[in-house]
Structure 1
Amino acid sequence: MERPGGVHEDDPPGGHRVNPEHAALIDGEPLPRERVDSFLETRPSRGAGLYQFAAPPRGATSHNEPAPARRQPEAPSVARQRRRWATQVVVTDELARRACAARGLEPPPEVSPAKILTLAESDVADLGSIVAAALAHSPAARTLLAALEAEQTVPETAVRDYYERNQDRFLTPDALRRGVTPFDGATPQDIRPYDEVRDHITRELRTAAGRQAFFGWLDQSRAGVTYSHGHEHPGDPSHPDHEHRH
């Protein structure tokens, strides 16, 4: 019998039978395997879809490529990695739901599969594909991230220090046209004033601090997760298909 994602229950990797009931235990409570199946069913196995907001595992097509008219069978190792990757996204969603409930936060309604949210490639690079996909998939994860960002305090000294150390980011349009750099003859008139860019820098630093807080929360929360066979982290070196790709 073939499950969504090309994984066969009769011949899972390493001869281990995949747990038919749950993908993981979160603090001892089962996460139904159907949650992972549902996530995979709403996203194609190749091309855009599943990986349109994430760096795909080895063997998947680029998220910038159109889906081919006729797809070749997916390699078993790619299918296994895709399921493990999807499990991480679903686990992150569940952990975020619990964190929101504990904080008294009310996430917005679920996004329908026909309206999959996407993130910029720069966000995928900064966040990693699992976290980026979780934020695209999970209203609870987005709600929690927004709450964590709002809690961050950015000292004025940090804003000023960032401005002083990154003058190349604040060159005026005229200076950029002339090819001026802060290290090659730039004058004070070539640099945008601190008061003009202060709020923008503060927002950037608050966003970065909020993401770091989110990563810290996720690392701590995942400590209570035990994965079933076939649902381990895709970078777990204990299985032969592992690759350290976030």
Structure 2
Amino acid sequence: MTEDYAARVQGEAILKERVAHFLNAGSTSPSRGAGNCATSHNGAARADRQRQRWATQVVITDELARRACAQRSLAPPDDVLPTQLLTVPETDIADLGSIIAAALAHSPAARALLADLERDQDIPETAVQDYYTRNRDRFLTPEALRRGVDPFAPAEPSDVLPYDHVREDIAHELRHAAARRAFFNWLDEARADVEYAEGYEHPGDPTHQDHEHRH
């Protein structure tokens, strides 16, 4: 008898039906790089298998995030994975990888966990100051930009926004980046013990012939 689960999380079955529902209920396909793996000499069948493996990872990430939210006593998300795939911005795919970008787009639990991780981040003042010092080109005044000041040349102090004016924005950006790194680390650890059924392995798992090292 064929097993009806795609994976097991701490011994609990994640049914194939749940993966199929996420992947097939809507007519919209994942955006380029977000699980819609380009076909090669193996053709459409190979691409379909990879999309199934990609969808499994998104579902697993949602499941693990729900458990993490419960452990952190976060309010349980009211929504579930949508019945239609959303278009994931290419910039998010480039920054996060397609699986995490899609999970954050689709899973309220994943977004809640990321927000909680961001609240956990303590960015030292020295880190904020160092970022400001090393990236003066990002803080040119509107007047300097209108004059066409070269952002890659040494700037006059008057051409740069004062530190106090941009400090909070820098700190927020650094907290957000640190939270994303924490989310990556959490996910790597959380899914280390997940057991996958044949055909539902991670798309980058080198033990299956269709593997692609793409996240």
Shorter-chain TM-score above 0.5? yes
- Partners of 2:146 and 2:29 in 1: CA distance: 40
Cα deviation code 1:94-141 (max 9, x no counterpart): 101111111111133216746765553322211111001111111111
- 1:114–1:95 CA distance, 2 compared to 1 (3 A): closer
Q: 1:124 aligns with which of 93, 96, 100?
A: 93
Determine if contact 2:30/2:87 at 8 Å carries over to the other structure: no
Query: Does structure 2 retain, via aligned residues, the 8 Å contact 1:53–1:118?
Result: no
Q: Which whole-Å CA distance do the structure 1 matches of 2:45 and 2:86 have between them? A: 28
**Residue 122 of structure 2 corresponds to which residue in structure 1?**
153
Match of 1:181?
A: 150
**What is the alpha-carbon distance in structure 2 between the residues aligned to residue 28 and residue 55 of structure 1?**
26
Which residue matches 2:204? 235
Separation in 1, partners of 2:208, 2:186: 26
Deviations along 1:48-78, one digit per CA (max 9) or x if unpaired, are 5433793631239xxxxxxxxxxxxx71000
Corresponding position of 2:34: 54
Q: 2:21 is matched with which residue? A: 38
Kindly provide the amino acid, as one letter, of the partner of residue 72 in structure 2: R
**Percent identical residues:** 60
Residue of 154, 160, 166 corresponding to 1:197: 166
- Identify if the C-alpha distance between structure 1 residues 137 and 52 changes in structure 2 by more than 3 Å, giving closer, same or farther: farther
Structure 1 counterpart of 2:24, one-letter code: E
**In angstroms, what is the RMSD of aligned CA positions?**
2.3
Moved more, 75-84 or 135-144: 135-144
- How far residue 221 of structure 1 moved from its aligned partner, in angstroms, is 0.3
Cα distance in 2 between the residues matched to 1:75 and 1:116: 19
Partner in structure 2 of residue 11 of structure 1: none
Determine whether 1:76 maps to 2:45: yes
Distance 1:81 1:53, change over 3 A: closer
Tell me which stretches of 4 or more aligned residues in structure 1 moved more than 4 Å. Answer: 114-119
Q: What's the TM-score, normalizing by structure 1?
A: 0.79
For 1:231 and 1:93, the matched residues in 2 are separated by: 16
Where in structure 2 are there 5+ consecutive unaligned residues?
Answer: none
Q: Partner of 2:5 in structure 1?
A: 22
What secondary structure does 2:212 align onto? coil
SS of match in other structure, 1:25: strand
Distance 1:75 1:116, change over 3 A: closer
